[in-house]
Amino acid sequence: CNAMNCAVTCDAAFADCNGDPQNGCETALGSLQHCTACGSACVMDHAITDCSGGSCQFVRCADGWDDCDMSLANGCEQNLNDDAHCGSCANNCTLTGDPVCSGGVCGDVACPVGKADCNQDGLPCEVDLDDDEANCGACGFACQFSGAGDPHAAAGLQCQLGACVPLCDAGYEDCDGDYANGCETSLRTLSDCGGCGVGCAIANATATCGTGACRVGSCNPDWADCDTDGTSCETPLNTTSDCGACAATCDLLNAVETCGGTTGSRACQIAACDASQYKDCDALVATGCEVDTRTDSANCSACGNNCTAKPNVATTHCASSACIVDTCNTGYGDCTAAAGCETPVNTVQNCGAC
């Protein structure tokens, strides 16, 4: 009892750390929190320690750490996953071609997609693999032609999104997807007209793709490009509106027209006359059924039936498909149903008249 207060005298290796004599010497010394005295912690940064024999002892550094400055005052101060101290104090990755420390081992830079550390000089991710012709898609992968034939790509190759792409001359394309042989396909052919795999075929025609556009080379017989757009032979030439040629219309007088002839050699023809009184007496298609046999005195009721050629007729006309004698030659009369002025009027039977 000291100055009216209870006091304790602790056994060796124990202490009254909470200052309460009621619970005696509650704290065992020699722990990491109270190594040699109350509150005297045995702790070093990033280190494993031990309090034994009455003093704080360093055991070893924690995994991934080391005492590179050889001073326990700051414990194991060095992180061994540092690029300059990778796995050990002296292993400096930044002085090598593998500048990045990962798990205590020097390695290459972990670049984002499309980037790479190709020169191994410690400069991180200096190459853009998307557009570098010398490192296209991967370090050291250079865009080069194979050297076989004309690549048809005077502007060369370009790295686009990590792939080598030939810059094709006009009218050529890389249709097989192999950049090394360049732009191997002409886009002026019937199988690749203006684009890879774009066929050029035109109905009723021989097609051509000489300019890179599918056009009519020539129309098949009996067909024509009447709208002159050059892309089709859309018009048949065996109709009465386009007979043998564009807009060659069959429009014949008093006739039912047809477009006849043979394939490639068409012409308007008369299929029939509009009505029985009309006839094609001159045998010319162009004039159609030019004769009205009801009134034509040279072709009265039929082709070649010439009223004026009847015997002894002076004047005549055709009416209702019949020859009508107007006047007879002197000395003759039209006394019977026979054609013309068949009867002489100087006989005792017909003296001066019928």
- Over range 203-228, report the average pLDDT: 97
Amino acid at 122: G
Q: Is the pLDDT of residue 218 over 90?
A: yes
Q: Is the pLDDT of residue 274 over 70?
A: yes
257 vs 150, which has greater pLDDT? 257
77 vs 147, which has greater pLDDT? 77
Three-state secondary-structure class, residue 264:
coil
Residues in the chain: 354
pTM of model > 0.85: no
Three-state secondary-structure class, residue 66:
strand
- Over range 267-290, report the average pLDDT: 96
CA–CA separation, 146 and 137 (whole Å): 18
| DSSP sequence for 300-346 | SSSTT--GGGSTTEEEEEEETTEEEEEEEPTTEE--SSSSSS-EESB
Q: Judge whether 213 and 198 are in contact, CB under 8 Å.
A: no
Q: Judge whether 192 and 175 are in contact, CB under 8 Å.
A: yes
What's the pLDDT at 121?
A: 63
CA–CA separation, 118 and 162 (whole Å): 14
CA–CA separation, 33 and 226 (whole Å): 106
Q: CB-hemisphere CA count at 13 Å for 332?
A: 19
C-alpha distance across the termini of the chain, in Å: 196
Angle at 239 between CA 238 and CA 240, to 5 degrees: 130
Q: Judge whether 51 and 57 are in contact, CB under 8 Å.
A: yes
The CB-based long-range contact list for 312-319 (8 Å cut-off, 24+ gap) reads: 312/340, 312/341, 312/342, 313/340, 313/341, 314/341, 318/293, 318/294, 319/294, 319/295
Strand partners, 319: 322
Q: Is the pLDDT of residue 140 over 90?
A: yes
What's the pLDDT at 120?
A: 66
Strand partners, 78: 66
- Over range 256-272, report the average pLDDT: 96
Q: Judge whether 352 and 345 are in contact, CB under 8 Å.
A: yes
Model confidence band, residue 159 (pLDDT cutoffs 50, 70, 90)? very high
Q: Is the pLDDT of residue 5 over 60?
A: yes
Span 228-260, pLDDT tens digits: 999 999 999 999 999 999 999 999 999 999 999
- Over range 200-217, report the average pLDDT: 97
Domain boundaries defined on the chain: 187-236, 238-291, 293-354
